[in-house]
Chains A and B, each alone.
Chain A
Amino acid sequence: MINSLLWTPLVFGFIGLLMPRRYAGWWATLGTAVTLGLAISMVIGFNSGAGLQDTVDVNWIPGLGVDYSLGVDGLNVFLILLTSVLWVAGTAFAALREQERPHLFFLMMLLGETATLGSFLAQDLLLFVLFFDLMLVPFYFLFGAWGTDREDGPTAAAATLKMIVYTLIGSLLMLVAAIATAIISAQDGGHLTFSIAELAKHPLSEGSQRWIFWFFAAAFLVKMPAFLLHGWMPDAYRAAPLPALAVFSGVLAKVGAYGFLRVVLPLFPAATVEFQEVILVIALASILYGSVMAFTQTNVRLIAGYSSVAQLGFITAGIFALSADGSDGAVLQMINHGLVVAPLFVIVAILAERSGSEDLREMGGMAMKAPVLAALFLIVTLATLAMPGSANFVGEFYILNGLFASKIVFAFVAISGVAMSAYYALRLYQRTMHNRKPAGLESREINLRDGIVLAPLVLCILGLALYPQLILKRTDDAVQTRISAVEKQPQPVTSLAKR
């Protein structure tokens, strides 16, 4: 079951190479749909009290102590569902449009899905690192080969290279750190293993935890991206083809946040407590910087991109509140953000097709003749700004609740992020949908082919708004066990913000 979920996309991708060009896209969409079906049946069969389930554990490289070990628990079950939902949307959206070299494009899309699912499912530290790095390969090709070259900036290939170098800086250090974790842990007696559950039972000495923590944090913070490590984001986002960008921004950024919960909190609890405030400062800086940049950008992709920086900052803050509420909210918010940002990029693509530009200054008045598009966009916008009633509101509420309980000063700063998100989300909506219609812009209603991509995503947002407990109930158990490892740690003596 879990194996077929993981490998179905890739198998479809390879078979797709034999399909006629015209059907390559639809075949790929079918592959993602089958994966979605498997993911849904997995969620239905999920038993929220049972911990890790559906496990597979095979000795992969016995000589090196690496296992092929997968499993589902409350932490990743909905992220897997999110991945498969967004991939269906992204692939279908791409299939509806003419692609150059479609065979390769869809192979890479599906390889990307397998790699992403793999990094969510992996229960072996090294397997996690492997899938984490593997995610880059398909997106390197997707962004570089199908991206748009800018006249006033780097070519798509150059922008993508920058992204790869940035993200691999983190991941390669993470590889060293992962190996060091296993070996140091094996030195205290015991055999060499990379199993996350096994490693969590024997935490390292505090001295080792310190540097290993930062190697992992670097990888995850670049991926999100967090403030100061986001240098690759603007160029890469402007170059990327939109269907790929939708899944990239919707899912891949979450792998970083997920990594903190899956790997860092259980394995390095002492370092987590020690550096809690440093990470919180980075998270708040991301919120402020991301929001301010989203105010001022005129490129619609970058508004979405910088808003993601802010949102991921929020999620990181939730995780590093180191309380169950904060992490619950963070997991919920990861799903929410994925569900919001992917339709946002689909809308960006639709807008760009109508206005011939991705610049906010050349848009406006679109709502006049396109009420359905405007309505869908409005729902996405309201979810982005965490309107009460949306699941995003619940998520942010949980995060802030957790943060207030542990670090009240940081919570006050984080609140400003909520207010700012209202500004940039509404600014994006108004400048594109309202205002005067500039010349040359064609206001057209959303057509059926885009509607069938966009509408289900919006329905997911609405569904989750009505029933966020669907996720909260199932994640809580898993989150509690992660937090309890950290709570056992003694608090550091000096503290920036005492309660």
Chain B
Amino acid sequence: MNFNAPHIDYAALSPVLALTVGLCVVLLSGVFKPLKRAAPGLTLITLATTAGLLIWRWDNPQDLVSGALRLDDLAISISLIAILTAAFAIFFSTREPAVEEAGSGEYHALLTGSVLGMVLLAQAQNLVTFFVAIETLSIPLYILCATNLRREKSLESGLKYLIVGSLGSATLLYGMAFIYGGSGSTDFAGIAHGIAQKGVLGDPLILIGIAMTAVGLAFKTSIAPFHQWTPDVYEGAPSPITGFMAVATKAAAFAVFIRFFDVALAPQVEDWQPALAVLAAISIVVGNVGALGQDSLKRLLGYSGVAQAGYILGGLVVASEDGVNAIVFYLAAYAFMNLAAFAVVIARERETIFGDDIDAVRGLGAERPQLAWPLTISMLGLAGLPATAGFIGKLYLIEALVEGDYTWLAVFIAVGTMISLAYYLRVVAAMWMRPGGEPVAAPAIAGASPEADPIDPGAGRRLYLVGPALLAAAATVFFGVIPQPLVEFAQHAGASLF
């Protein structure tokens, strides 16, 4: 009997392997008492190793596992964004009640598992790996959302995310089945080949399949009108997890979004382009208008994330190298801006009785400048004001859109940004333009909510919160003034596809 084992390229698979091994080690660390406190450190080591291995594979694209995965610079850059975000989330989780309740080992193992899903998803170029990766990413997150066991909202958030996420996954899977039926292949290249014969519009099976896949991905990237879960889940989930979800999930889902539409379906670009452009426009309007009335900072960031997803989708619509570059640049900038904001929200959540309400940051400018500055820079950056990476990111996206003859969508981005100023600057105004600190007394129904007492009155001075906040804010400004390194980083991603 002659059996040819497939060639396994261990060097290129090493990042995934490192994460898997790390995941097991972190999980087991929770079992052994002397190692209990080591879980965050072990997770950080795992992430650092993975990042190192990924950087080692930089600029060396290759297909893996019989073409099911592709480790190219797009995959690497998106994975690095996800890993960076996870590392920040680990710092944010220090002394987080959710970690104590869920168990440090389990919490961090789940987080690592989610990162594993993201790294896989960024490489997926086969419907099977695509779906397996997206589930590997999502299932740990469903649990992580509910880890704050004593808070009703956290449980609600986990359940809601589970139900809506499953719906999204089901839609995605259903769509994939149609695509397989229509094209006879699960491989992206095979799908492209299969579709090329009939065209998207010629075969209802494929049309439905593509539409449902797009909907499924829109669920994951929280693009309107499939965003309804976002604000609720963001609000309820433990804040470090919200921050992680807001950035990393979006980045990873956009990676496969790019691979599926801009590569596999590139020849049919004219058929799907208008539909995604309309989705982007709806998302920009819905997200920005929805954020206007929000008092909860996490909900506000959730809606802002919906709008930002709309901007990013614009880069996908044009299906060009510049478009992909712009997406990767924007995702990186978005990661820095959001992480700075979440660090401050978490610090104030623990420090005050207001939770994540906008009141929590009132008068922050005078009281805690080391927190006020990062949040200010983050808000100005998200609003796209100059001297922040957000401005360059918008510039990049608009350039790609105008080049791809989608100037009207570029104008939508401009209009959306105008609306967004109203809520981003509201946060800035609360910090610098209103006196704070007077209402120290607990709300009338004290004791009714577990947040009645500050968890950690000194949280605003903790290095593990202030440090990441300042770091992310500094990166936002740095890449706003000297964007060239990040532009080159993003250009690698685009060059690997086109």
* Contact digits for B421-443, partner A, Cβ 8 Å, 1 yes 0 no: 11001101100111000000000
Establish whether residues B414 and A101, one from each chain, have CB atoms under 8 Å apart when the complex forms: no
Establish whether residues B483 and A61, one from each chain, have CB atoms under 8 Å apart when the complex forms: yes
Establish whether residues B421 and A175, one from each chain, have CB atoms under 8 Å apart when the complex forms: no
Establish whether residues B387 and A62, one from each chain, have CB atoms under 8 Å apart when the complex forms: no
Give Cα A165–Cα B413 distance, bound, in whole angstroms.
15
Which of the segments A140-148, A319-327, A347-355, A385-393 contacts the partner chain?
Answer: A140-148
A43 at the interface (CB under 8 A from B): no
Q: Decide: A64 near B487, CB < 8 A? Known: A145-B433, A179-B410.
A: yes
Q: Decide: A130 near B386, CB < 8 A? Known: A164-B425, A176-B411.
A: yes
Establish whether residues A179 and B402, one from each chain, have CB atoms under 8 Å apart when the complex forms: yes
Which of the segments B233-241, B263-271, B389-397 contacts the partner chain?
Answer: B389-397
Establish whether residues A137 and B484, one from each chain, have CB atoms under 8 Å apart when the complex forms: no
Q: Decide: A183 near B403, CB < 8 A? Known: A61-B487, A161-B429.
A: yes
Give Cα A140–Cα B386 distance, bound, in whole angstroms.
13
Query: What are 14 A-B pairs with beta-carbon distances under 8 A?
Result: A130-B391, A131-B386, A133-B391, A137-B386, A144-B429, A157-B429, A160-B429, A161-B421, A161-B425, A164-B425, A165-B418, A169-B418, A172-B415, A175-B398
Interface residues in A150-165 (C-beta closer than 8 Å to B): 155-157, 160-161, 164-165
Establish whether residues A62 and B425, one from each chain, have CB atoms under 8 Å apart when the complex forms: no
Q: Which of A63, A130, A165, A168 contacts B487 (CB 8 A)?
A: A63
Tell me if A's interface is mostly helix, strand, loop or mixed: helix
Most buried by A among B386, B483, B487: B386
Q: Which of B392, B399, B428 contacts A179 (CB 8 A)?
A: B399
* Contact digits for B483-497, partner A, Cβ 8 Å, 1 yes 0 no: 110011001000000
Q: Decide: A134 near B417, CB < 8 A? Known: A140-B425, A161-B422.
A: no
A408 at the interface (CB under 8 A from B): no
Most buried by A among B325, B394, B396, B410: B410
Tell me if B's interface is mostly helix, strand, loop or mixed: helix
Chain A residues contacting B407 (CB-CB under 8 Å) are 176, 180
Q: Decide: A61 near B418, CB < 8 A? Known: A145-B432, A161-B425.
A: no
Give Cα A112–Cα B335 distance, bound, in whole angstroms.
28
Give Cα A289–Cα B402 distance, bound, in whole angstroms.
38
B366 at the interface (CB under 8 A from A): yes
Establish whether residues A168 and B433, one from each chain, have CB atoms under 8 Å apart when the complex forms: no
Least distance between A118 CB and chain B CB atoms (Å): 10
Q: What residue of chain B has the Cβ atom nearest to residue A187's Cβ?
A: B403
Chain B residues contacting A136 (CB-CB under 8 Å) are 385
A281 at the interface (CB under 8 A from B): no
Q: Identify the 5 closest CB pairs spanning chains A and B, nearest first.
A: A63-B487, A172-B414, A157-B429, A157-B433, A134-B386
Give Cα A126–Cα B391 distance, bound, in whole angstroms.
11
Q: Which of A63, A137, A183 contacts B488 (CB 8 A)?
A: A63
Give Cα A113–Cα B271 distance, bound, in whole angstroms.
50
Chain A residues contacting B415 (CB-CB under 8 Å) are 172
A173 at the interface (CB under 8 A from B): yes
Q: Decide: A165 near B483, CB < 8 A? Known: A173-B411, A175-B394.
A: no
Establish whether residues A180 and B386, one from each chain, have CB atoms under 8 Å apart when the complex forms: no
Chain A residues contacting B433 (CB-CB under 8 Å) are 144-145, 155-157
Establish whether residues B399 and A168, one from each chain, have CB atoms under 8 Å apart when the complex forms: no
Chain B residues contacting A62 (CB-CB under 8 Å) are 484
Establish whether residues A137 and B429, one from each chain, have CB atoms under 8 Å apart when the complex forms: no
Q: What residue of chain A has the Cβ atom nearest to residue B398's Cβ?
A: A179
Establish whether residues A183 and B418, one from each chain, have CB atoms under 8 Å apart when the complex forms: no
Chain B residues contacting A64 (CB-CB under 8 Å) are 392, 395-396, 399, 483, 487
Question: Measuring CB to CB, which residues of chain A are less than 8 angstroms from any residue of chain B?
Answer: 60-64, 66, 101, 104, 126, 130-131, 133-134, 136-137, 140-141, 144-145, 155-157, 160-161, 164-165, 168-169, 172-173, 175-176, 179-180, 183-184
Least distance between B317 CB and chain A CB atoms (Å): 16
The interface on chain B, measured as residues whose beta carbon lies within 8 A of the other chain's beta carbons, has a size of 39
Give Cα A484–Cα B350 distance, bound, in whole angstroms.
65
Q: What residue of chain B has the Cβ atom nearest to residue A132's Cβ?
A: B386
Least distance between B435 CB and chain A CB atoms (Å): 11
Chain B residues contacting A134 (CB-CB under 8 Å) are 385-387
Chain A residues contacting B402 (CB-CB under 8 Å) are 176, 179-180, 183-184
Chain A residues contacting B380 (CB-CB under 8 Å) are 137
Give Cα A172–Cα B288 distance, bound, in whole angstroms.
16
Give Cα A104–Cα B345 distance, bound, in whole angstroms.
23
Most buried by B among A104, A157, A179: A179
Least distance between A3 CB and chain B CB atoms (Å): 14
Q: What residue of chain A has the Cβ atom nearest to residue B403's Cβ?
A: A183
Q: Decide: A164 near B421, CB < 8 A? Known: A63-B484, A179-B410.
A: yes
Give Cα A156–Cα B434 distance, bound, in whole angstroms.
10
Starting from the known contacts A63-B491, A134-B387, A161-B422, 16 additional A-B residue pairs (CB-CB under 8 Å) come to: A61-B487, A63-B484, A63-B488, A64-B392, A64-B483, A64-B487, A126-B395, A133-B385, A141-B432, A144-B429, A164-B425, A165-B421, A173-B411, A176-B414, A179-B398, A180-B410
Give Cα A60–Cα B386 distance, bound, in whole angstroms.
14
Give Cα A137–Cα B428 distance, bound, in whole angstroms.
11
Establish whether residues A179 and B395, one from each chain, have CB atoms under 8 Å apart when the complex forms: yes
Give Cα A131–Cα B481 distance, bound, in whole angstroms.
12
Q: Decide: A183 near B434, CB < 8 A? Known: A164-B425, A169-B418, A176-B411.
A: no
Q: Which of B394, B398, B417, B484 contacts A168 (CB 8 A)?
A: B417
Least distance between B187 CB and chain A CB atoms (Å): 33
Q: What residue of chain B has the Cβ atom nearest to residue A147's Cβ?
A: B433
Chain B residues contacting A172 (CB-CB under 8 Å) are 384, 414-415, 417-418
Chain B residues contacting A104 (CB-CB under 8 Å) are 365
Chain A residues contacting B387 (CB-CB under 8 Å) are 130, 134, 137
Give Cα A473–Cα B425 distance, bound, in whole angstroms.
45
Give Cα A332–Cα B102 distance, bound, in whole angstroms.
71
Give Cα A141–Cα B366 distance, bound, in whole angstroms.
14
Chain A residues contacting B429 (CB-CB under 8 Å) are 144, 157, 160-161
Chain A residues contacting B434 (CB-CB under 8 Å) are 157
Q: What residue of chain B has the Cβ atom nearest to residue A100's Cβ?
A: B366
Give Cα A155–Cα B429 distance, bound, in whole angstroms.
11
Chain B residues contacting A155 (CB-CB under 8 Å) are 433
Establish whether residues B484 and A61, one from each chain, have CB atoms under 8 Å apart when the complex forms: yes
Give Cα A326–Cα B293 distance, bound, in whole angstroms.
48
Give Cα A130–Cα B385 distance, bound, in whole angstroms.
8
